Amino acid sequence: MPELAERLSNVKVSPSAAMTAKAREMRAKGVNVISLANGEPDFASPRHAIEAAYRAALAGDTKYPPQGGTPALKAAIARKFKRDNSLDYTADEIIVGNGGKQVIFNAFMATLDPGDEVVIPSPFWVSYADMAKVAGGVPVTVSCPQNNGFKPRPEDIEAAITPRTKWVMLNFPGNPTGAVPSREELAAIGEVLLRHPQVWVMSDDMYEHLLYDGHRFSTIAEVTPGLKDRTLTVNGCSKTYAMTGWRIGFGGGPAPLIRGMFNMQGQATAGVSTISQAAAVAALDGPQELVETQRAAYEQRRDMVVEMLNAAPGLTCHKPEGAFYVFPNLAGCLGKTSQGGRKIETDTDFVAALLEEKQVACVQGAAYGMSPHMRISYATDTASLTEACGRIQEFCRELA
């Protein structure tokens, strides 16, 4: 049989997707699995967005879409950036992709040459490093431990930048930690980046509206305007509007970069579903009350999950400022043996045993570049979260 490409040798299947698939497989066999592995809102998409998609389909808006986004959606995105982020982007500075993931992938493919480095604060969303590798880049991680609130220090970003650095990644509120820097902390990072004009800056703002305890959102191109002409600001409809399946992500950035990304998208998927784009216009321009309703629900869930996990022997859980994940430390559980006889030497051992013995699916911290932790998504209903956290407590109490 012919061989697969060498580029796949260092690229992993997404661990969160793999754990979600495993949970679905077990459910199909009748096992009562509670999956906390997937970062997918449990809320319904906005009714007015669904109705807009329906009207678009009935009106015949079902042909090939413009490759970089419909004029209507680009205009709605420009209004969103101005309204929420005080950023001005023209139509040629905006691109629409099949989810935020494609927007990031397009940017890497359009800019990275073999050996170029991508600085990524760790813990990080699992796909950043692998997408950089596929594009020929080299991920360079910057450790952001819990005692720093899982946030990067400016001096650590500075130390990671070399003549080969092409991108610095920023993701706040962060996945998997929910970390949110203050405006002053973000400005300090911006001051570092201003000193390196050869470096592109990417701000993944997908969770911008999910903030708690009075925290305010800022994005780097707004805080440090001198970076705007080399910053790609990435966002989408998946998390804010519970529209994961519609696959609408978008980016705002300098026109030359957007043109390169447009070219790459044309070689991959071309445009995005016209029906989804009509729904996204309605979501971005329509009533926004549901955003606050969902945010308040996530905040209540966060408080409950953090309290229950901190009551589990061996776990310590930092309270995140945003997103819908917690990233508890499980160092106190290592070196023990589960009731089912599995030795817990690593966070991978922990989540495997937890799934096997208590039917709760989480993702090991190693997948996000930091151990010994695990990522738990609380984007699910309160009853399931309560039951799952109870099972985790039981699993930890039974370790010996």
**Mean pLDDT over the full length of the chain:** 96
* Statement: residue 291 has pLDDT above 90: yes
For position 8, what pLDDT does the model report? 84
Structure tokens at 39: 């970062």
**Helix or strand holding residue 130 (H, E):** helix 126-134
What's the pLDDT score for residue 22? Answer: 82
Question: Phi-psi region for residue 313, left (φ > 0), alpha (ψ -120 to 50) or beta?
Answer: beta
Closest CA to 368 of 193, 121, 100: 121
Q: Are 179 and 207 in contact (CB under 8 A)?
A: no
Both tokens of 236, joined, read 């989408």
The pLDDT of residue 369 is 96
Residue spans of the domains in the chain: they are 6-44+290-398, 62-285
Dig out the tokens for 40 from the structure.
Answer: 């997918």
Q: Residue 37 — very low, low, confident or very high, per pLDDT cuts 50/70/90? A: very high
Fold agreement (6-44+290-398, 62-285): no
The dotted CATH code for 62-285 is: 3.40.640.10
Q: How many residues does the chain have?
A: 400
> How far apart are alpha carbons 226 and 254 in whole angstroms?
12
Bond from prior residue into 123 cis (ω within 30 degrees of 0): yes
218 near 85, Cβ under 8 Å? no
pLDDT at 6: 85
- Which percentage of the chain shows pLDDT scores above 90? 92
Q: How far is the CA of 344 from the CAs of 69, 333, 397, in angstroms? A: 49, 7, 14
Write down the pLDDT at residue 26: 85
- Give the separation between CA 127 and CA 133, rounded to whole angstroms: 10
Chain position carrying tokens 């991508």: 118
Cβ–Cβ under 8 Å, residues 165 and 117: yes
Q: Which CA distances in Å does 188 have to 144, 185, 277?
A: 16, 5, 36
Please give the full DSSP string across 322-349, using - where no structure is assigned. Answer: BTTEE--B-GGGTTEE-TTS-EE-SHHH
Residue 11 has pLDDT above 90, yes or no: no
Structure tokens at 220: 């780097």
Superfamily of domain 6-44+290-398: Aspartate Aminotransferase, domain 1 (3.90.1150.10)
Per-residue pLDDT tens over the stretch 118-171: 999 999 999 999 999 999 999 999 999 999 999 999 999 999 999 999 999 999
pTM for the whole thing?
Answer: 0.95
The per-residue pLDDT for range 162-193, each reduced to its tens digit, is 999 999 999 999 999 999 999 999 999 999 99
Class of residue 34 by CB neighbours under 10 A (exposed 0-12, middle 13-18, buried 19+): buried
pLDDT at 18: 80
- Does the structure show a pLDDT above 90 at 361? yes
Per-residue pLDDT band at 27 (split at 50, 70, 90): confident
